[in-house]
Every structure is written in structure tokens, then in C-alpha cells.
């Protein structure tokens, strides 16, 4: 291949990459493609990039969207919690998860590590999810608030309102088959109700068309081990919803 042809091909590939194409498949003989490119009006040739017909595929769209959302949250100062947090705990897990677990807000351990649902309550949640066929790495876990309220106090309404676009964005991006709302606060926030968790968990609920299972927070289970049985029943309903969605 001549230097001119190589440079033309490099420029062509660079232009296609700049408009967002991640994979270019030539349906014609490459020499025909080069002839067609060569016939195009000459333009100054930018610094050539290495000509790669099959560049590394970029991350899937959901991963990229969550990344951008997470970076925005990482710099967020929209409410007073920005002044007292150590770390923004955006959320983690499979961007294509069939289940999104939503808790209330980061606690001390989460604030320190930047990860949601760690510590004793997190370990219990992991065990319960795994025993229902949802190992932690297959779900997505986040909280209503991304920053820790000082002293683990209850979130304030204006803090929830400020932070809501992040949770909404996470749920819209992932589009799970079901949501598991762990605890009174996330259940009431997502459902826009003040009904008690005991009543919410016994009825069919949904958030913007996505089935929602309300259940007790794992930290509450550590204080009330007798609640493990009802939580187990809630997780079986979650399993059933996801299995049915898989069949459809």
C-alpha cells in the first residue's frame, strides 16, 4: 500500500471514529474502498492515527452512561451533605442487572469505602441475595442518597429531591426487571407514599412500570432476626418476577 493510500485510509478511519463508529466493516474489496477514498476531494491530512479496521469496542452504552452519571455525582454539591461526606457512594454492580437494590443512604463504612451495602448489613444482604439466586455481582446496588447524612440521621426531603435525578438516571439506564427497595425510606420514596413498610411489602408495587418489592433493610434484620423469614418470602417473589420476565 502506498503512503498516500495509507494516509487516506488512516484519515478515513479517524473520521469514522470521531463520529462514534466503533467497528467498521468493509463490504467491498479494500482496494475499491481505497480508490473511492482517493477519489474524494483532497483535504489537509491530520496527523495520521494508527489504522485499525477493528478498534477496541468501547464500553456498552449503559456502562458509559452510569460512568458519566457517577462522575457528575462525584462532584455534586447540590445539597448540604456535600459538606460532611468523605466519599460519594454512587452505586455499583452490573449495568445490565435484572435487579436493582435500593437502600436509604451510605453509613459510616460506606462513606469510608465508597461502596454501598458493606459491613455486617451488607454481608447479610449478599447472603440473602445469593441464596435467592442473585449473587452480588449480578445485581446493581445503590442508595436513594449518594452521600452520608451526619450521624446516620434521616434524609431530609430537600436532600432527597436534590439527589433524585441520580437514582432516576440509574434506574432508567439499567432498566431492570425488578427493584428491591430495602427499608421504609427507599420504599416510601420510590412509591411516593407514607404507608408503613409492613403494608408495602405485602402488596404489589411498581415504580414507573418496573415491579418493586419492598422489604426490610438488612440492618433491621440484624436487630430483629425473626424478620429473616418474611424477607426470604419477599426475595422469592422477586425471583418469581425476574424469572417470569426472562420467559417473556
Summarize as ranges the residues that interact with ligand SF4 (CB under 6 A): 73, 76-79, 81-82, 88, 145-147, 159, 162-163
* Nearest approach, Cβ of residue 74 and ligand SF4 (Å): 8
State the DSSP string of 177-225. SEEEEESHHHHHHHHT----HHHHTTS-EEETTEEEEEE--HHHHHH-G
The b/e string for 27-63 (b: 16+ C-beta within 10 A; e otherwise) is eeeeeebbeeeeeeeeeeeeeeeebeeebeeeeeebe
Residues whose CB falls within 8 Å of the CB of residue 133, separated by 6 or more in sequence, listed in order: 239
The residue (of 89 and 97) whose beta carbon lies closer to ligand SF4 is: 89
User: CA-CA distance, 137 to 126, in Å (whole number)?
Assistant: 9
The residue (of 73 and 238) whose beta carbon lies closer to ligand SF4 is: 73
* Nearest approach, Cβ of residue 97 and ligand SF4 (Å): 21
The residue (of 63 and 87) whose beta carbon lies closer to ligand SF4 is: 87
In sequence order, what E strands does the chain have? 92-93, 99-103, 140-143, 178-182, 205-207, 210-215
End-to-end CA distance of the chain: 52
* Nearest approach, Cβ of residue 116 and ligand SF4 (Å): 13
The residue (of 73 and 101) whose beta carbon lies closer to ligand SF4 is: 73
* Nearest approach, Cβ of residue 180 and ligand SF4 (Å): 21
The residue (of 104 and 159) whose beta carbon lies closer to ligand SF4 is: 159
Residues whose CB falls within 8 Å of the CB of residue 1, separated by 6 or more in sequence, listed in order: 9, 34
The residue (of 164 and 195) whose beta carbon lies closer to ligand SF4 is: 164
* Nearest approach, Cβ of residue 236 and ligand SF4 (Å): 33
The residue (of 163 and 235) whose beta carbon lies closer to ligand SF4 is: 163
* Nearest approach, Cβ of residue 63 and ligand SF4 (Å): 20
* Neighbour-count burial of 66, counting CB atoms closer than 10 A to its CB (0-12 exposed, 13-18 middle, 19+ buried): buried
* Nearest approach, Cβ of residue 239 and ligand SF4 (Å): 31
CB 74 within 8 A of CB 88: yes
Amino acid at each position: 500500500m502506498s503512503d498516500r493510500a495509507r494516509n487516506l485510509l488512516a484519515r478515513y478511519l479517524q473520521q469514522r471514529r470521531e463520529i462514534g463508529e466503533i467497528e467498521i466493516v468493509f463490504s467491498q474489496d479494500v482496494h475499491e474502498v481505497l480508490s473511492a477514498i482517493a477519489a474524494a476531494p483532497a483535504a489537509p491530512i491530520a496527523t495520521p492515527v494508527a489504522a485499525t479496521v477493528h478498534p477496541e469496542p468501547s464500553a456498552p452504552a449503559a456502562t458509559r452512561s452510569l460512568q458519566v452519571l457517577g462522575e457528575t455525582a462525584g462532584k455534586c454539591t447540590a445539597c448540604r451533605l456535600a459538606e460532611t461526606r468523605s466519599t460519594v457512594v454512587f452505586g455499583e454492580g452490573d449495568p445490565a442487572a435484572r435487579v436493582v437494590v435500593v437502600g436509604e443512604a451510605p453509613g459510616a463504612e460506606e462513606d469510608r469505602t465508597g461502596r454501598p451495602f458493606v459491613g455486617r448489613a451488607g454481608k447479610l444482604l449478599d447472603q440473602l441475595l445469593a441464596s435467592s439466586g442473585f449473587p452480588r455481582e449480578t445485581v446493581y446496588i445503590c442508595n436513594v442518597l449518594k452521600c452520608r447524612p451526619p450521624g446516620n440521621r434521616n434524609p431530609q426531603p430537600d436532600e432527597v429531591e436534590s439527589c433524585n435525578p441520580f437514582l432516576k438516571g440509574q434506574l432508567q439506564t439499567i432498566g431492570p426487571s425488578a427493584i428491591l427497595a430495602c427499608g421504609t425510606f427507599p420504599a416510601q420514596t420510590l412509591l411516593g407514599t407514607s404507608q408503613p413498610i409492613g403494608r408495602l411489602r405485602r402488596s404489589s408495587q411498581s415504580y414507573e412500570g418496573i415491579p418493586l418489592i419492598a422489604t426490610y433493610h438488612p440492618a433491621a434484620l440484624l436487630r430483629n432476626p425473626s424478620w429473616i423469614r418474611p424477607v426470604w418470602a419477599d426475595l422469592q417473589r422477586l425471583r418469581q418476577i425476574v424469572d417470569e420476565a426472562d420467559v417473556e
